[in-house]
Amino acid sequence: MSEQADMQTDEQHYDPQALQVKWQRRWEELNPFAAPATPSGAGGKRYMLDMFPYPSGDLHMGHAEVFAIGDVVARYFFQKGYDVLHPIGWDSFGLPAENAAIKRNAHPAEWTYANIETQANSFKRYGISFDWSTRLHTSDAGYYKWTQWLFLRFFERGLAYRKGGLVNWCPNDQTVLANEQVVGGRCERCGAEVIRRELTQWYFKITDYADRLLDDMAQLEGGWPDRVLTMQRNWIGRSEGADVDFVIEGRDEPVTVYTTRPDTLYGATFFVVAPDAPLAGEIVSEEQREAFESYRAEVAKLSDIDRLSTEKEKTGVFLGRYAINPVNGERMPVWAADYVLSDYGHGAIMAVPAHDQRDLDFARAFDLPVRVVVHTGLADPGETGVATAGDGALVNSGPLDGLGKTEAIRKIIEVLSERGTGKAAVNYRLRDWLLSRQRFWGCPIPITHCADCGEVPVPDEQLPVTLPDLRGEALAPKGVSPLASAEDWVNVECPKCGGAAKRDTDTMDTFVDSSWYYLRYVDPDYEDGPFDVEKIRQWGPIDQYVGGVEHAVLHLLYSRFFTKVLHDMGMVDFTEPFTRLLNQGQVINRGKAMSKSLGNGVDLGEQIDAFGVDAVRLTMVFAGPPEDDIDWADVSPAASQKFLARAFRVMAETGAASAPGADVATGDLNLRKTVHKVVDEVTKLMESHRFNVAVARMMELTSALRKAIDSGPGAADPAVREGAEALAVMLSLVAPYAAEEGWERLGHPASVARAGWPVAEEALLVEDSVTCVVQVAGKVRDRLEVSPDISEADLQALALASERVRGFLSGAPRKVIVRAPKLVNIVP
RNA sequence: GGGGCCGUAGUCCAACGGCAGGAGACGCAUGACUUAGGAUCAUGACAGUGCGGGUUCGAAUCCCGCCGGCCCCA
């Protein structure tokens, strides 16, 4: 800073860094955001929750955005006088810590807890309104003890179980993944292509809750973004159809297939089994076995995405066997083909080539018959190669002939039910949640495996099963859990029979940890259970949740599932945990996600050093609607800083010119109207989460105050003070440091964060006159200043009397639309 | 292939079916204050709302089709 500037430095100089140092210390003493032990019930409660961070180094731009936006909501709740719970914790189990530990020959906890400290300090500097007494870490034994406790309750209820089967395996992270963690055939974490492996793993029976997860979304309509609800609906993928039993020649048990189009049963001309389904290997004829085995080996290399691609040429092998169509007794060849997945329905389908494109592609590739059974009026699929999936009258279908789709489905289900060869059925895309992970830094699964007793739960009083002290090389991925190598830890007595037994060596998916953390925040040190049931009754459910859309079907689905199970256990009285959800966008740079390889990363610490916390936060909030991505190249933290300096000077100058307590009624009326109008608008904008527009209104107010001080009633006018005080309070949601200092300059004790939201006076929102637009044929031809409560008749007369309007009229108007007091449209 | 969201000044973003004298901001230009300005203050220019239809007294806004972008499911 130049000497000149130093000399200019006066009471009104805005120095963000100095304010940060000053107020961070003061806030530590004041602790303005401590939640009451229980909400009083009088003024209402608000549980405001940000998705808790993973401690991967210091906070970054993405965190800065979520928490800036979440904090606007939280601080608004505080200002409105609610009892607010705004907690913070860390999702502190997970792979990056483990990988860092391997590289540094250290323990994952060292890296994890060091990063948590760094982030905690950054949060404090960033001025987020957390109640720090709520702080929790999912990797604390005091926390994961209860994750284990919950697992055991799920186990008791049959909601946690072990089964063998094909699972998604990430060859890079050397662990299995849940379906939700496979995105486009790749590992959601690291992007490696996922392969299939046959393994015995632990699952949560989320499919038992599929219907409730679907139905309870009705509660979330309007509170959650539609697209997240749609994504969850798609993910659950409920479809209605029928299970149809097909006899396979030479097999005692019939094979059930699921179809959404049982009405087309007469059009089934062949039968397809997933090559990786056990059924295929079982029924393949001796002559075809060799061909089948080599085909199966090929298919094993493919991802589901490849298999389902409509682009890909159809492949398959005839299994040398025939299935019998239950309605017409036809023999249909049984094929194995990769376009049928082993986990869809029952791993086998009836193929109706005329009315399903993939079946048709397959039929054409292998010269199988195509039979039209729905008359859609479109050309024969056998000729065109285009399947007809639409509605129409059934043909070649015995008793179904002439019926439409809906009727035919009803009828065929009736027929099948009578014969005992089928029934109406519902199918889901959702699969059970695979929760085992072959990694170290997670919550151990509290199960002991005993040769005699089988899976034996660790008794509650022995919880937590703590992690052994492994570090460095011992954690290197080898395809089995690192825990397996900790022999002292693994070998235990069976809790049931006392014989030799082994601990389960897998750890839980970290999404288990985060599926219930919001419940523990009400008392993170609670020792009589995972959470204080009574406190959750009072604080829950979460009124506003803020976080990224990347969890649309991961964390959010799992948490909803947990909540429902806990509801069934009588531990929570609500069935949906998050009443309202706000998905903020990403912070990108020059059109692309920030990444090391692109070299377009922006460092949050540097931005804060350069512009100050308030300016960075303001930039995040002002950039656009909260759901939109922010391209850092399109926004200007420098401009934010400039505005804050302007706003600060207004507050400081006002504070220097007057003291609190003046009679506002004596203030400049025009300015007062502006102030109250802005307050009214900002209030509504906050309620509807249009924070960027709210900031624009604060800018207008600042400009109005500037003008009033410079060339209006002057800084000492009570209206200026009223406006400056309102500005300080509203600004505190976005720029807490500048607002706090401004509030102090205005002569008020800290903290501005709890000063109370300004209330717009109705009387001051009424305009003396409004501008009425007079249109002729929809084009503006004149403007009239009229009273806001002018009658339609008076307004019409006034408009028709206008000289300027009459110039555009040649005779009596055909029609006059009057929307008093703002518009008249004359149709000539 | 199905479903959804979105296209407004050079840029980001506003606008209950009713004035696009764009709310706000970036950038640009001009002026004032200045030794100077990257500070501050003031002023100004820049789009007719992706394209084509329709509904309506009136459409950025509602409906249909197309183009372009993003997301989900396949």
Kindly report, residue by residue over A645-689, the tens digit of the pLDDT.
Answer: 999 999 999 999 999 988 999 999 989 999 999 999 999 999 999
> What is the pLDDT, as a whole number, of residue A6?
33
**In sequence order, which residues have a C-beta less than 8 Å from that of residue A499 and are 6 or more positions away?**
A450, A451, A452, A453, A493
Share of chain A above pLDDT 70, in %: 98
> What is the pLDDT, as a whole number, of residue A809?
79
Name the nt closest to A777 by C-alpha to C1'.
B57
Cα torsion A217, A218, A220, A224: sign: positive
Question: Alpha-carbon distance A691 to A547, whole Å?
Answer: 16
pLDDT value at A732 more than 90: yes
> What is the pLDDT, as a whole number, of residue A7?
33
pLDDT value at A231 more than 90: no
> What is the pLDDT, as a whole number, of residue A513?
96
pLDDT value at A781 more than 80: yes
pLDDT value at A635 more than 50: yes
Confidence of residue A5 (pLDDT cuts 50, 70, 90): very low
Q: What is the mean pLDDT of residues A484-506?
A: 93
Report DSSP state, residue A771: E
Confidence of residue A3 (pLDDT cuts 50, 70, 90): very low
On whether the CB atoms of residues A100 and A111 are closer than 8 A, the answer is yes
A625 touches strand B (CB under 7 A): yes
On whether the CB atoms of residues A440 and A475 are closer than 8 A, the answer is yes
User: Which protein residue lies nearest to nucleotide B40, measured between its Cα and the C1' atom?
Assistant: A646
A234 touches strand B (CB under 7 A): yes
Q: What is the mean pLDDT of residues A228-250?
A: 89
A534 touches strand B (CB under 7 A): no
Instruction: Give the pair of three-digit tokens for residue A83.
Output: 């009892």
pLDDT value at A585 more than 60: yes
Least confident among A117-126, A522-531, A763-772: A763-772
User: Which protein residue lies nearest to nucleotide B23, measured between its Cα and the C1' atom?
Assistant: A696
On whether the CB atoms of residues A204 and A159 are closer than 8 A, the answer is yes
Q: What angle do CA A751, A583, A733 make, to 5 degrees?
A: 15
Strand B, CB < 7 A, residues 780-819 of A: 780, 783, 815, 817, 819
> What is the pLDDT, as a whole number, of residue A305?
63
Least confident among A292-301, A303-312, A584-593: A303-312
Question: Alpha-carbon distance A546 to A120, whole Å?
Answer: 19
Nearest CA-CA partner of A464 in A449, A446, A489: A446
Question: Alpha-carbon distance A335 to A82, whole Å?
Answer: 65
A825 touches strand B (CB under 7 A): yes
Q: Say how far A60 CA is from B14 C1', in Å.
A: 29
Only one residue has tokens 């179980």, namely A161
> What is the pLDDT, as a whole number, of residue A679?
95
Q: Say how far A780 CA is from B21 C1', in Å.
A: 12
Confidence of residue A1 (pLDDT cuts 50, 70, 90): very low
Q: What is the mean pLDDT of residues A564-573?
A: 97
Nearest CA-CA partner of A269 in A197, A193, A180, A366: A366
Least confident among A106-120, A153-167, A295-309, A522-536: A295-309
A188 touches strand B (CB under 7 A): no
Instruction: Share the mean pLDDT of chain A.
Output: 90
The residue type of A755 is A
Question: Alpha-carbon distance A270 to A268, whole Å?
Answer: 6
The residue type of A628 is D
- Which strand B bases fall within 7 angstroms of a protein CB? 2-5, 11-16, 18-21, 23-27, 35-37, 39-42, 57-59, 71-74
> What is the pLDDT, as a whole number, of residue A11?
63
pLDDT value at A308 more than 80: no
> What is the pLDDT, as a whole number, of residue A303?
66
Strand B, CB < 7 A, residues 754-783 of A: 771, 773, 775, 777-778, 780, 783
pLDDT value at A84 more than 90: yes
Q: Say how far A621 CA is from B13 C1', in Å.
A: 12
pLDDT value at A4 more than 80: no
State CA A95 to chain mean position distance.
21
> What is the pLDDT, as a whole number, of residue A311?
63
A646 touches strand B (CB under 7 A): yes
Question: Alpha-carbon distance A704 to A700, whole Å?
Answer: 6
pLDDT value at A572 more than 70: yes
Select the more confidently predicted residue: A347 or A568: A568
Instruction: Give the pair of three-digit tokens for residue A343.
Output: 């986990």
ipTM of the complex: 0.94
Alpha-helical runs (H) found in A716-758: 718-731, 736-745
> What is the pLDDT, as a whole number, of residue A388?
81
Phi then psi dihedrals of residue A815, to 5 deg: -160, 145
> What is the pLDDT, as a whole number, of residue A8?
36
A435 touches strand B (CB under 7 A): no
Strand B, CB < 7 A, residues 199-228 of A: 226-227
Q: What is the mean pLDDT of residues A768-782?
A: 84
Confidence of residue A412 (pLDDT cuts 50, 70, 90): very high
pLDDT value at A318 more than 80: yes
Q: pLDDT digit string (tens) for A595-624? A: 877 788 899 999 999 999 999 999 999 999
State CA A769 to chain mean position distance.
46
Least confident among A50-54, A112-116, A409-413, A473-477: A473-477
- Annotated binding residues of A for ATP: 596
